Amino acid sequence: MSTIEEIVQGKGKFVDDIVLPGMQHMSVIRSNYSRGKILGISGGYTFKDFPAYMSSVGEGASEGEKNMREPVLADKYVNYIGEPVAAVLGKNRYEAEDLSEKVEIEIEPLTPMMDPEKSIDAPPVYPYMKSNIYKKVTLGRDFRTDGFEVEIEGHFNNRRVATNPIEPRGIVAAYEDNQLTVWISTQSVHSIKEGLSEVLSMPEDNIRVIQADTGGAFGLKGGLYSEYALAAFLAKKTGKPVKWIESRREHLMASRPGRGTSAFVKLYANRSGRILGMKGKVIVDSGAYSGGSGEFAARFVGMQMTGPYKIENAYVEAYPVFTNKVVQGPYRGAGRPEAHFFIERMIDMLADKLKMDPVDVRLINTVNSEFKSPLGMDVPPAKEFLEEAISKLNYRKLYKEKPGFAFFVLVPAFQPGETARIKIENNEVKVWLGGNTHGQRHDIFVKTLVNEGLGINRDLVHLQLGDTSMLKSGIGSWGSRSAMVGGMAVHEACKKIKQAFIAKNGIYSADALLKEGADEFVHWRGEGTMNSLGCNLVTCEVNDRGQVKVKECAAYYDVGRALSPEVVRGQVSGGMAQGIGQTLYEEIMYSDDGQLLTASIADAGVPIASQLPEYKVLLSNTRSNLATGAKGVGESPTIGVPIALSRAIENVTGVKITETPIRQELLLRSMKH
């Protein structure tokens, strides 16, 4: 990978910086309708040329209904705006776009299904389905609800949000001598290889996937997309390399967005605030095809819906449902922010109902021992941490400022561990990780752990970009996992190298090892879970036009041992910005008749510097039981901030907040009265 010194000097190598001799540029012709019947296509490569279906790989992958899988290019029907219908190749981007305009597609529009909550009970859009529900999930056990002193209910929604890394998606594919090589901006070269192999019906051995410097991902770049399969297919078909770089407009139409999850929730409690039961119905706006993350998300959201609280009775029904929209994907948090938004909003509502301080309701319902929730989540001992957080975040002192508070469990993607390879050669240590860094500076923890494990100077340790020819298997970088599981894989590889060296030479010497060399591959597999806790506190002002200004934005997270405190701080700050973005500005919007209303990154609401506050990041340094001491962190801020900010706004304006983003109009009305 390019070093940070190279990047600040403009010498990074991102996928769009790669130029191969004879390279062609691909332009994709897409559906302008959310739903319709294809009457004719003239020109371009179409489904007839490449009759293949997508494979589901990477984060949140699911088997899915086989007959509802997304075709790489639309076949007979289009089911979302932006769905790829045809592709053309040009010798440069300008020419490719000129050619794409010559392709004519005739579509007979059909009435689209845009509302997931209506979709549940509507007649099935696909004739071969019984309903629009991909797969109903139930968690916990249903229970009788008579006899509880207090019962409250809420209906909440986190609308769809685009991931919007500043570098869009992109790929360069080349085919020569039966061998496909792709360079790609990705979180997992291994997922891409597996997916391409399936879609192209090519043995994995004939595919090499190389990661380019990756300009942010946030869940976007974990899996396979139609355009990747298309670029690979066309490189093979034409014998010349093919480049495809996504435009931002394509990103907003056809890249998988996250959130898009709503819930009906009921809480049952006694008058002192002790919660005795929770029932939830979760609806995931899964989009037009199976194989996205909707099916995984339904179960995952459901599992977390009691939050860190000890609630004896819990029952959730979760429905990933069909809509005429691009397939849902993971976005930083991927189910964690949704579940906690639902339970935490309910906790605040319960406090209001009982005229209690919301933080006291949280305290009453937490315990100091670990337990498995009725929905299946491992909850770490929570009470002591919560008390610590209340004090560190100055909640009581700031009470007059009307703070919002959030408490959550971070469930990282701990299983199935991760791989690493360490190769020592020519006085240099090269490290490959199964999960690919895309802006989180994995190089820093790798240097730290190799230095600790082998006593080798940090400057000699170099993390490499993902490359399937250099590392035989791997999982991916997502789900707050990399420092934790990738770190353990590095730790184990170091341990093995050291043991082997000692077995051979009697005593260990880093200098001698550097001369002698080594090459070790490890797949480290953790046992159980590695869940951790976090709290956020936010205060804000709302002006007479209904605009929100965030003042205090603070976090207290249990990140275990921070392998690199500056990197952790950066992760938390960036995540808080995304949490504020989701709460106040960000949304992918469609009209009722299925037109896409968000056409630019500004429309999509990605926040700018002058909209965001300074952050306060406090870390609890409690080592995990892993040898490295690390826990997860990356997704914590996107869980906690929307909750705390929503409550802060509620406190200031008196407006009940039930969905994100919170529209200015809603707050303006309250300021008027």
Interface of this chain with another protein, residues 569 to 608, rule: CB under 8 A? 569-570, 573-578, 585, 589, 597-603, 605-608
By the 8 A CB rule, do 642 and 635 touch? no
Site stretch for another protein (CB under 8 A), options 96-104, 226-234, 472-480, 526-534: 96-104
The residue among 44 and 320 lying less far from another protein, judged by its C-beta, is: 44
Minimum Å gap between C-beta 371 and another protein is 34
Interface with another protein in residues 500-559 (CB under 8 A):
544-545
The residue among 136 and 549 lying less far from another protein, judged by its C-beta, is: 549
Q: Residues 353, 356, 359, 363: is their CA dihedral positive or negative?
A: negative
Using CB under 8 A, which of 441, 523, 525, 656 touches another protein? 441
What are the backbone angles phi and psi of residue 78, rounded to the nearest 5°? -110, 145
The residue among 185 and 468 lying less far from another protein, judged by its C-beta, is: 185
- Cα(418)–Cα(481) distance, integer angstroms: 9
Could you say whether residue 459 binds another protein (CB under 8 A)? no
The residue among 366 and 437 lying less far from another protein, judged by its C-beta, is: 437
Coil vs helix vs strand at 174: strand
Minimum Å gap between C-beta 391 and another protein is 24
Interface with another protein in residues 34-93 (CB under 8 A):
92-93
Minimum Å gap between C-beta 664 and another protein is 7
Which pairs count as long-range contacts for 380-385, CB under 8 Å and 24+ apart, including other chains? Answer: 380/308, 380/409, 380/531, 380/532, 380/533, 380/558, 382/308, 382/309, 382/407, 382/409, 382/533, 385/533, 385/535, 385/558, 385/620
The residue among 518 and 606 lying less far from another protein, judged by its C-beta, is: 606
Whole-Å CA distances, 409 to 37, 97, 608: 45, 47, 29
By the 8 A CB rule, do 322 and 119 touch? yes
- Cα(21)–Cα(179) distance, integer angstroms: 17
Could you say whether residue 104 binds another protein (CB under 8 A)? no
Give the residue from 425, 391, 628, 383 showing the smallest Cα distance to 517: 425
DSSP assigned state of 308: T
> Residue 621 is encoded by which pair of tokens?
């340094």
Interface with another protein in residues 153-172 (CB under 8 A):
164-168
By the 8 A CB rule, do 64 and 291 touch? yes
Using CB under 8 A, which of 43, 109, 124, 216 touches another protein? 216
What are the backbone angles phi and psi of residue 365, rounded to the nearest 5°? -100, 10
Could you say whether residue 359 binds another protein (CB under 8 A)? no
> How many residues line the site for another protein (CB under 8 A)?
74
Using CB under 8 A, which of 42, 67, 91, 101 touches another protein? 101
Could you say whether residue 134 binds another protein (CB under 8 A)? no
Minimum Å gap between C-beta 94 and another protein is 5
Give the residue from 454, 642, 447 showing the smallest Cα distance to 536: 642
Could you say whether residue 213 binds another protein (CB under 8 A)? yes
- Cα(550)–Cα(581) distance, integer angstroms: 11
Minimum Å gap between C-beta 6 and another protein is 9
Interface with another protein in residues 654-673 (CB under 8 A):
663-665, 668, 672
Interface with another protein in residues 306-345 (CB under 8 A):
none
Minimum Å gap between C-beta 98 and another protein is 7
Interface with another protein in residues 394-423 (CB under 8 A):
none
What is Dmax (Cα atoms) for the chain? 81
Using CB under 8 A, which of 421, 438, 498, 647 touches another protein? 438
By the 8 A CB rule, do 3 and 442 touch? no
Could you say whether residue 94 binds another protein (CB under 8 A)? yes
The residue among 200 and 553 lying less far from another protein, judged by its C-beta, is: 553
Minimum Å gap between C-beta 499 and another protein is 35
What are the backbone angles phi and psi of residue 264, rounded to the nearest 5°? -105, 125
Whole-Å CA distances, 635 to 175, 258, 304, 560, 602: 37, 13, 14, 15, 23
- Cα(474)–Cα(490) distance, integer angstroms: 13
Minimum Å gap between C-beta 30 and another protein is 13
Give helix 442-454 / helix 487-505 axis angle, nearest 10°: 30
Interface with another protein in residues 612-651 (CB under 8 A):
612, 614-615
Could you say whether residue 7 binds another protein (CB under 8 A)? yes
Could you say whether residue 12 binds another protein (CB under 8 A)? yes
Minimum Å gap between C-beta 128 and another protein is 35
Site stretch for another protein (CB under 8 A), options 71-79, 243-251, 371-379, 384-392: 243-251
Site stretch for another protein (CB under 8 A), options 213-221, 421-429, 453-461, 484-492: 213-221
Minimum Å gap between C-beta 483 and another protein is 14
The residue among 11 and 372 lying less far from another protein, judged by its C-beta, is: 11
Using CB under 8 A, which of 193, 248, 256, 362 touches another protein? 248
Using CB under 8 A, which of 566, 593, 623, 654 touches another protein? 566
- Cα(410)–Cα(17) distance, integer angstroms: 36
The residue among 222 and 374 lying less far from another protein, judged by its C-beta, is: 222
Which residues, 6 or more positions from 177, have their beta carbon under 8 angstroms from its beta carbon? none
Residues in the chain: 673
- Cα(448)–Cα(458) distance, integer angstroms: 7
The residue among 194 and 250 lying less far from another protein, judged by its C-beta, is: 250
The residue among 3 and 368 lying less far from another protein, judged by its C-beta, is: 3
Could you say whether residue 458 binds another protein (CB under 8 A)? no
Site stretch for another protein (CB under 8 A), options 152-160, 257-265, 310-318, 439-447: 439-447
- Cα(259)–Cα(253) distance, integer angstroms: 15
